Amino acid sequence: MKKFAFIAVAVTALSFAQPAKAQWESIRQEGEIGFTLGAAHYFGDLNTRAALNRPKLAFGAFFRKQFGNYIGLRVAAHFAQLGYSDIYNTHNEYQRRRNLSFNSNIFELALQGDFNFFKFVPGDPDHSFTPYITFGAGIFSYDPYAYLGGQKYFLRTLATEGQGTAAYPDRKPYNTMAVSIPFGVGIKYAINDRMNVGFEVAHRFTNTDYLDDVSKTFVGADKFPPLPDGSPSIAQLLQDRSYETGDIIGIEGRQRGLPKQNDQFVFAELTFSFNLTSYRCPTAK
């Protein structure tokens, strides 16, 4: 009798489970529209030890087209703030004395492929979570600036390393557009069949060494003509600020940056997205 009772319970459970399974299989995730909010951090000539001590605001929006339960293609737009200063380099006396700093606003547009480790079906409690990796390519704009005497000055037009001058014809003015290569990992969880939340960390490799306006060598104070009243120009004062920390170190030819290492940055963000779904009739199988 007990055996027959067990079989009856099992058949009943399966009869409820099959319609539920058919329900999830009939929902097709076409894609997602989402938003991100978090922090950005810069790595480069002013932050050579990859310290994570000056995060700044980052946020964005994205559309992801889903191709099955494992692969997606994402178009993402980001705004972020980046910045750093030599005053944070307490481990390196030369960098502290160099005393350079910068800030920049970043606008990025990227195309990324996302690859889920687990089958992801929003609304299905058995497949509502997955870690994933993301990889792609993008373009971003940047325009570094610094403050002197409380005033904001954009550094590119000042040619702080002699870019575009007759004295350094090999140093061309750098572009304010560059290429980024995002590579990162994340996790996402489907709250229900309509909404997902997640967290992502994606590093950006770039093809520019002038995100911070620092790359090669000092060109010397004499390469910057003084103002009509004989006082130093803004360009001269910002190309070498060691006068604020002691004796001047920015003599011509002395190392100012690391020209063989391009600058990089990273985003760490919470993600919120809304699913775009369609329905298909379950098969007889």
Q: What is the mean pLDDT of residues 190-206?
A: 96
Q: How confident is the model at residue 166, as a pLDDT?
A: 87
Give every CB contact of residue 172 below 8 A, 6+ residues apart in sequence.
163, 164
Q: What is the pLDDT of residues 244-279, one digit of tens each?
A: 999 999 999 999 999 999 999 999 999 999 999 775
Q: What is the mean pLDDT of residues 112-125?
A: 94
**Whole-number Cα distances in Å, 67 to 18, 29, 119:** 25, 9, 12
CB-count burial class (<10 Å; 0-12, 13-18, 19+) for 120? buried
How much of the chain exceeds pLDDT 90, in percent? 83
SS3 103: strand
* CA gap 196, 211 in Å, rounded: 34
Q: How confident is the model at residue 277, as a pLDDT?
A: 76
Q: What is the mean pLDDT of residues 95-110?
A: 97
Average pLDDT, the chain: 90
Q: What is the pLDDT of residues 131-162, one digit of tens each?
A: 999 999 999 999 999 999 999 999 999 999 99
Q: Decide the pairing of beta strands 129-141 and 101-116.
A: antiparallel
Q: What is the pLDDT of residues 25-76, one digit of tens each?
A: 566 778 999 999 999 999 999 999 999 999 999 999 999 999 989 999 999 9
How much of the chain exceeds pLDDT 70, in percent? 87
* 21 pLDDT more than 80: no
Q: Decide the pairing of beta strands 27-43 and 264-279.
A: antiparallel
- The residue type at 1: M
